[in-house]
Structure formats: C-alpha cells, structure tokens
Amino acid sequence: MRRVLAVVVAVAVVALIGYGIGSYLFYEQLSTVAAHCGNRAGDEPRFQENTPASWTLANDLDVDKDWPPSSRAIDMTPYAMPDYVEVTVSSRDPSIGPLSGWWVPGRTTASPAVVVVHGAGACKKDHVVLLHAGMLHRAGFGVLLFDQRDMGDSARQDGRWAAGTQEYLDVLGARDWVVATQALPASKVGLMGNSGGAMAVVIAAGEDATVAAAWEESSIADLNQAIPEQIIFMGLPDAANLLVPGGLLIGRMLGFDPLAISELDMAAAIGSRPFAIVHGLKDPKSREHHAKDLAEVVRRSVPGYQPWIVPCAQHVEAAFCATAEYETRLVDFFTGAIGAP
C-alpha cells in the first residue's frame, strides 16, 4: 500500500508540475508581445519603413476574393500626413515609461482631434491605424498615433499585453496629452481603436466619463468566450482549453488579471455617449457575436442601436474592403460627436 500510495503521489506531483509548465507556456503564447511591431517575441520587426508621410500596405494583408476591385489596390496618396511631428506622451500609470507618438495637426489649431490606437502586437506604424488616421486627417481632424506600453518604440515593462485592462491607462494618458498640449477641451477629443486597441478604448471610455466619443473595430466582448475561440484560431488542439484556468492563474500570480475588467460592463458605462461598433462578418479571430453582444448592452441606453457589420471584412479589414463607406462613416461619426474640423 505504501508503494502504491507513493506511486500515486509521485504521479500527481508530476502531473501538477506538468500542468503548471503547460499553463505557463499557454499564458506566454497568449500574452507575449514583441517591440517594434514584431507581433510575437523573436519575430522580425514589421512596418519599419512606414511613417505618416509615406507608407504602404504590408504584403501579408489578406485580399479577399470578395473584395470589390477598387479595394484591391488602394491609393494611399490621399491619406498621406506629411506634417507629422514626433512626440512623447505619458501613461496615466506612473510606473510606465515614455510612450512614443506621432502628432498630426488638424486643419486649424482649434480642430477637434482623435487618438488612434493600434492592436495587440502592432504599433503606430501599422498600415491599419495609418489608414484610419489618414482618413481623419484628410477631413481636417488632428490625429495622435502612439505606441502602447511594451509595443512599438515605447517603454518596455514586462513584454506582455494585458487585454486592455492596463493599456487603457496609456490611452487616457494619450488623450490627456492632446488636451494639455493642443489646448483642446476634452469634449473635442475622441478615441478610436482596433482589435486589442479597441479593447483598451472601450475600457478607457467606460472608466472615464469625460471621454467624448469612441469608435472600436474588432473588439471582443467577453474574454471567457474569446479565449477558446482564439485557441481554435491559433490552430492549437482542443486540449489547450484545459490550460485556460491555469494560464489565468499564472497571469494573476504575475500581477495581470485579464478578467478584472469586463468589456460588457465598460460598454454599459459608456451609456448614451457616441459609441461606434464596427466588425467584419468574416472575422475568424474576433467573431461577429462580440459586436452584437456589445451592441445589446449599448441598447440599454440607446434603444435601437445597431453595430456596423461589414460583410466583406475579416479582422480589422473593414477600411480596406469598404474604403469609401468606411471613410464616410468615420468622418460623419466624429464630426457629429466632437465637432467639425
């Protein structure tokens, strides 16, 4: 019996150690981000030649066969922003070092402005945020692009992405920079984010009632649902779902609780303030139901509210496959929310 008990205990200890190691590796896989738009630790930096004045689409942009011909060769010339200046902004989190940014002045010094926020593992050089910013700039808005903590050229903290639950303080710090340096009231500064940046924008708008308007594309609504979907998207085996509780525990032990703030609660907190939800019907990474779940919460304050579901778009592709409509909707939204440039 002693031998049997010893064997059982040894097996249990080995299994526990193995589960702990597996959970840590799972946590690493989902949370690690590289600097300089590297996407994942060890990856080569991307978009390094891009600036607001001159940039191109990355070769890995998935041009869907259902895109209209006009969207397969977008002319970036009208969206160039030659008058940008390099700036440094501060997070509202005092433990975070300087954040690297680009400020693009508006049509006049009194023009309203929008903070444009990149996704997880991306940076301000990403063609997605540059196109969004270029659309706003062409309409006359001031635009601030910046790198969130641990990404792009900003200060490194731990090399991890916290699902917007920490990065939202960077977003609010960037908004504060615009208000302070451009002498604009908070009512004339909006937020726009895509993917992981959209998550940070939703939280920022929910946490700070002075945020005048928010536009999000390809956010998630519930991390509990999104993680199993992400496992499928990444091609991991179904057994990886067994590591989710352990991975979340590892995150909490390292000071990061991805479930600490609910996107749905933050969307509810936005209330009746201007809030745009945009999502690609074909998005395999953040599924369509997330937009509908967020919209259902918004309808508590804004009866009849509907998200814009873009039929031709996969993840953060709406501005590329429906360029003209995206630009019109984007400019009209912020013009109505924070004023005409």
Q: Count the neighbouring beta carbons within 10 Å of the beta carbon of residue 304.
A: 5
Beta strands 308-310 and 142-146 are: unpaired
Contacts of 12 (CB under 8 A, 6+ apart): none
- Map 200-268 to HEC letters: HHHHHHHHCCCCCCEEEECCCCCHHHHHHHHHHHCCCCHHHHHHHHHHHHHHHHCCCCCCCCCHHHHHH
CA distance 114 to 182: 12
Decide if 221 contacts 259 (C-beta within 8 A). no
Decide if 56 contacts 50 (C-beta within 8 A). yes
**178: phi > 0 → left, psi -120 to 50 → alpha, else beta; which?**
alpha
- What is the model's pLDDT at position 143? 98
Rg, C-alpha atoms of the chain? 21
Per residue of the chain (341 residues), what is the pLDDT tens digit? 777 676 666 666 676 777 767 677 777 777 888 888 886 555 678 888 899 999 877 654 555 555 555 555 677 889 999 999 999 999 999 999 999 999 999 999 999 999 999 999 899 999 999 999 999 999 999 999 999 999 999 988 888 888 999 999 999 999 999 999 999 999 999 999 999 999 999 999 999 999 999 999 999 998 888 888 888 887 877 777 877 887 778 778 877 777 788 999 999 999 999 999 999 999 988 999 999 999 999 999 999 999 999 998 999 999 998 999 999 999 999 999 999 99
The helix/strand/coil state of 123 is: coil
What angle do helix axes 288-298 and 223-233 make, rounded to 10 degrees? 170
- What is the model's pLDDT at position 59? 52
- What is the model's pLDDT at position 328? 98
- What is the model's pLDDT at position 329? 98
* pTM (two decimals): 0.91
- What is the model's pLDDT at position 252? 83
- What is the model's pLDDT at position 206? 97
Q: Which fold has domain 36-222+262-338?
A: Rossmann fold (3.40.50)
Phi, psi of 15 (to 5 degrees): -65, -40
In the chain, where the domains are located? 1-31+223-259, 36-222+262-338
